[in-house]
Amino acid sequence: MRIVIAWATGLCVVLAVGGALAGQTVQVRDVAGRTVEIPADPQRIVSIPVVMPPLLFAVDGSGKRIKGMHPDTKTAVENSVLAKMAPELLDAPTGFIKGGFKVNIEELLKLQPDLVFQISPEQEEIEKIEAAGIPVLATDNGDFYDYYTGYLRILGQVLNKKERADQLKSEFDGTRERIKARVAGVDPAKRPKGLILFNAERLMATGSGSFANFWLENTGAVNAAAGIKTSPRGATVGMEQILDWNPDVIYITNFCRTMPEDLINNRIPGQNWASVKAVKEGRVYKIPLGQYRWYPPSADSALMLKWMASKNHPDLFGDMDIKAEIKDHFKRVYAFDLTDADVARILNPDPTSDWKWN
């Protein structure tokens, strides 16, 4: 007998009756539509997608299964509270990545993985890893919500912790509906124009096709860059385009070192922000760095909705104490007590990569 659990995102798991026991395998259909046989209880997982390890920690309650990760993930871990929550992640090797999402097979084999996660566009890399005898699950597909819920669903099944994954999804869905209900009465013509800069030094703006539309639309704003098609990382634009958009509020991700004062004080060579409305009114914000970066999917995504809504509509959310919300979230979701200093660092992330949590 077999039980088939199918998901709208295209993920399904076929489990032997009696549960996933040591030595057993399961068949998983990934977002690329491939059916992959993997260990029923994988203990050595290597993640090439940058968002996977923090989400795995959130579902599993530990990072001990992660035996390798992308360098961009490692940087975030080292500079976030996750270094305190899951110090074992600090030991995860990154040297098997040879650039972008490409891998060095010899270095990967040294990690002895029994499962690898890879982003779905890297088909040749997936085939290369599978040819080495390692099962690979393709991830990353669709808009923000598909990304986030897809990761949770596959992790819930792979880790045999579906109930926990469902809890995280419910936490996010409930927050999203409450925020949307509060901003529903705002006249569309009066909603602020928001701009999310993935990399401010390179003027990488996030248009349609990025996560920006989701964040801004669900927190009562419109994406100033919606008219251009970009990847989640955005696309490079000129300063003239920024001036034409003239956003009311600007957000800067944690994928660059730029801080709000760099725009406000025109510190970036070749850029002049003096006449941009958001800059003139002091509405330029660095996106927080909590359990992970808040721009891509993370188990802190419910907090991202609350924080951004409070910046887009400070009058509507004047009753929200974001510091208390962060402490409550970490206590309920991760069973972790944050100090006031921890919260301050989350809300004011250090722009350098050499700062470590202690």
Other C-beta atoms closer than 10 Å to the C-beta of 282 total: 9
Helix (H) / strand (E) containing 345? helix 340-347
Mean pLDDT of 125-136: 96
Q: Over the chain, what is the mean pLDDT?
A: 90
pLDDT band, residue 316 (cuts 50/70/90): very high
Amino acid, single-letter form, for residue 354: D
Report the percent of the chain where pLDDT is more than 90. Answer: 82
**Each residue of 28-62: pLDDT tens digit?**
888 788 899 999 999 999 999 999 999 999 999 99
Q: What share of the chain is helix, strand, coil (3-state, %, to 5)?
A: 40, 20, 45
- Residues 149-166, buried b or exposed e (16+ Cβ, 10 A)? bbbbbbbbbbbbebebbe
In sequence order, what are the residues at sequence separation of 6 or more whose Cβ sits closer than 8 angstroms to the Cβ of residue 82?
Answer: 54, 57, 76, 89, 291, 292
**Each residue of 167-187: pLDDT tens digit?**
999 999 999 999 999 999 999
Mean pLDDT of 314-322: 96
The confidence score (pLDDT) of residue 357 equals: 45
Q: How far apart are CA 212 and CA 222, in angstroms?
A: 9
CA atoms within 13 A on the CB side of 128: 13
Q: CATH for 39-169, among 3.40.50.1980, 3.30.70.940, 3.90.330.10, 2.30.30.90?
A: 3.40.50.1980
pLDDT band, residue 22 (cuts 50/70/90): low
Q: Where are the domains of the chain?
A: 39-169, 186-347
Q: How far apart are CA 50 and CA 295, in angstroms?
A: 12
- Given a contact cutoff of 8 angstroms between Cβ atoms, the answer to whether 218 and 180 are in contact is yes
**Each residue of 205-235: pLDDT tens digit?**
999 989 999 999 999 999 999 999 998 889 9
pTM score, whole prediction: 0.89
CATH of domain 186-347: 3.40.50.1980
CA dihedral 226, 230, 236, 238 (to 10 degrees): -30
Examine domains 39-169 and 186-347 and report if their fold is the same.
yes
